[in-house]
């Protein structure tokens, strides 16, 4: 979603009781609500209601942890997580965030191409292969019958199954 200069992120206040308050809608929200906002491309920032500290990164990380905890929702392989943890405090710690952001941006930009490649080309090719295998299997299965009928197809009026 492209933002214009007049677009400002929704301000979410986090209270000491861990409740999140959406100041734009004047209502309490959950992490699932914030997850939906992210998926819809709606920007928000989270501030501690008392101190004003920016908690956006921590809340986004918490959303990721909850999503990763759901069965079948895993996007981050264990090996990736281990490698990522290994970068903390290392020489490349300052480079990794920019690299990951650019890599994900590139993936997002090319997502339609990937989707098209896998859905159209990939499935079309897989369908062609499946049809060929099915036709070959049918020829093999019907071959003994074709030979006894003098090459006539089963069900034909001139010597088939009738």
**Residue where the block lists tokens 């990721």:** 64
**Residue where the block lists tokens 């309490």:** 28
Same domain, 66 and 111: no
Domain count, the chain: 2
Query: Which residue numbers in the chain have pLDDT < 50?
Result: 1-6, 161-162
Structure tokens at 80: 């990736």
Does residue 148 lie in a domain region? yes
Q: What is the pLDDT of residues 72-91, one digit of tens each?
A: 888 999 999 999 999 999 88
Does residue 89 lie in a domain region? no
**pLDDT value of position 118:** 67
Measure CA 45 to chain center: 23
User: Whole domain around residue 51: which residue ranges?
Assistant: 7-77
Of 62, 77, 92, which residue sits at a domain end?
77
Q: DSSP secondary-structure letter at 42?
A: -
**pLDDT value of position 151:** 53
**pLDDT value of position 119:** 65
Does residue 29 lie in a domain region? yes
Same domain, 18 and 59: yes
């Amino acid at each position: 979603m492209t933002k214009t200069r007049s677009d400002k992120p929704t301000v979410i206040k986090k209270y000491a009781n861990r409740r999140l308050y959406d100041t734009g809608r004047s209502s309490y929200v959950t992490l699932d609500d914030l997850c939906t906002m992210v998926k819809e491309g709606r920007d928000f920032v989270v501030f501690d209601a008392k101190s004003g500290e920016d908690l956006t990164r921590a809340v986004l990380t918490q959303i990721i942890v909850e999503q990763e905890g759901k069965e079948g929702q895993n996007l981050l392989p264990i090996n990736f997580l281990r490698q990522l943890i290994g970068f903390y405090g290392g020489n490349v710690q300052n480079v990794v965030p920019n690299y990951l952001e650019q890599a994900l941006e590139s993936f997002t930009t090319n997502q339609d191409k990937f989707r098209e490649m896998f859905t159209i080309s990939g499935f079309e090719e897989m369908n062609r292969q499946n049809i060929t295998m099915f036709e070959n299997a049918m020829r093999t299965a019907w071959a003994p019958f074709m030979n006894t009928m003098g090459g006539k197809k089963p069900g034909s009026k001139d010597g088939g199954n009738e």
